[in-house]
């Protein structure tokens, strides 16, 4: 009660001093929050990396058969380990999630492997996006090279939703790094989550189906598919904004409006 009365008295007679003290306390609180997030993130990353190293994952990642044997070692918790591997594939990035998805497809079947992978990739994508949003460039700079950041930062700011959707659809882009860089832009979290849910599953489903023998394609068939994908990407980058604008106008009943 006394503290409240004192603050009321101070705010009445010394409003500027109160505003300065309030701003200072807010900065201190923000700094402590960032420090806490940094500490927890580093501990989780270090723990995940140590676990992978101690259990021999990096040696097993050299081939699909070795990776399958590695996951089977943890039975009856193989499904859980597979999920954690896929989650770490997004956060630690060097782990190729498509390769582990193919190994999971061979072990668990196409749909169980796909659902586990999809859940892990969505969770990891939202985590890295949120961490980059909360911690800023200090966090992003430790995980994304300066060259990669300069290459994609401008296009993410100018055509973020369109570019992310197309990049997630095709396998030759650093999806996990783009999630971090997207967190530095003004893209809303809900819109980013929608893009991830709609665009990221297809490559994972393809890899899981290959591993589960539900889909087999000869090399001659994969080459035209890759060329067609590249053509679609270039067309999307050229006309994606126009298509998005027309779609939004139709959804809004023909009214033009400012998008997010």
Q: What is the tens place of the pLDDT at every residue in 77-100?
A: 999 999 988 888 887 755 667 778
- In whole numbers, what is the pLDDT of the chain averaged over residues? 75
Same domain, 13 and 141: no
257 pLDDT band, cuts 50/70/90, is very low
In this prediction, residues 21-38 reach a mean pLDDT of 62
Which distant-in-sequence residues (6+ apart) come within 8 Å of 101 by Cβ?
Answer: 86, 113, 114, 117, 204, 207, 208, 211
Same domain, 73 and 149: yes
Taking each helix axis from N to C terminus, what angle separates 110-135 and 97-108, rounded to the nearest 10 degrees?
150
Single residue among 178, 198, 216 that ends a domain in this structure: 216
- Identify whether 188 is part of a domain: yes
Residue-level pLDDT at 251: 44
In this prediction, residues 10-24 reach a mean pLDDT of 51
Same domain, 112 and 185: yes
Single residue among 193, 216, 239 that ends a domain in this structure: 216
**Cα dihedral sign for 10, 13, 17, 23?**
positive
Same domain, 16 and 128: no
148 pLDDT band, cuts 50/70/90, is confident
pLDDT at residue 193 is higher than 90: yes
Same domain, 9 and 100: no
Which of the listed ranges 201-205, 213-217, 229-233, 253-257 does the model predict with the highest average pLDDT? Answer: 201-205
**Residue 152 contacts residue 234 (beta carbons within 8 Å):** no
- Identify whether 132 is part of a domain: yes
Same domain, 161 and 113: yes
Query: What's the predicted TM-score (pTM) here?
Result: 0.69
The whole domain housing 111 covers 55-216
For 115, other C-beta atoms within 10 Å of its C-beta total 17
Report how many domains make up the chain.
2
Same domain, 69 and 117: yes
- Residue of 34, 107, 36 lying closest to 68 (CA atoms): 107
- Identify whether 45 is part of a domain: no
Range from 106-110, 188-192, 195-199 carrying the lowest mean pLDDT: 106-110
Same domain, 141 and 176: yes
Single residue among 216, 231, 254 that ends a domain in this structure: 216
Q: What are phi and psi of 136, to 5 degrees?
A: 80, -155
């Amino acid at each position: 009660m006394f503290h409240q009365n004192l603050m009321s008295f101070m705010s009445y007679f010394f409003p500027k001093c109160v505003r300065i003290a309030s701003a200072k306390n807010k900065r201190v609180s923000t700094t402590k929050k960032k420090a806490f997030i940094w500490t927890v993130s580093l501990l989780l990353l270090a723990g995940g990396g140590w676990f992978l190293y101690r259990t021999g994952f990096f040696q097993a990642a050299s081939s699909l058969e070795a990776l399958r044997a590695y996951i089977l070692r943890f039975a009856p918790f193989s499904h859980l380990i597979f999920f954690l591997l896929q989650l770490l594939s997004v956060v630690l990035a060097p782990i190729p999630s498509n390769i582990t998805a193919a190994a999971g497809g061979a072990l668990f079947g196409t749909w169980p492997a796909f659902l586990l992978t999809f859940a892990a990739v969505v969770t990891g994508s939202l985590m890295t996006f949120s961490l980059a949003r909360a911690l800023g460039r200090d966090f992003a700079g430790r995980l994304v090279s300066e060259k990669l950041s300069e290459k994609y930062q401008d296009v993410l700011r100018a055509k973020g939703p369109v570019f992310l959707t197309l990049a997630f659809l095709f396998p030759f882009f650093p999806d996990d790094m783009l999630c971090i860089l997207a967190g530095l832009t003004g893209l809303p979290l809900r819109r980013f989550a929608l893009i991830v849910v709609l665009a990221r599953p297809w490559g994972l489903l393809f890899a899981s189906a290959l591993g589960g023998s539900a889909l087999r394609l000869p090399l001659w068939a994969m080459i035209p598919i890759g060329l067609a994908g590249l053509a679609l990407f270039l067309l999307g980058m050229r006309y994606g904004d126009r298509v998005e604008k027309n779609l939004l106008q139709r959804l809004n009943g023909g009214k033009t409006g400012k998008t997010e």
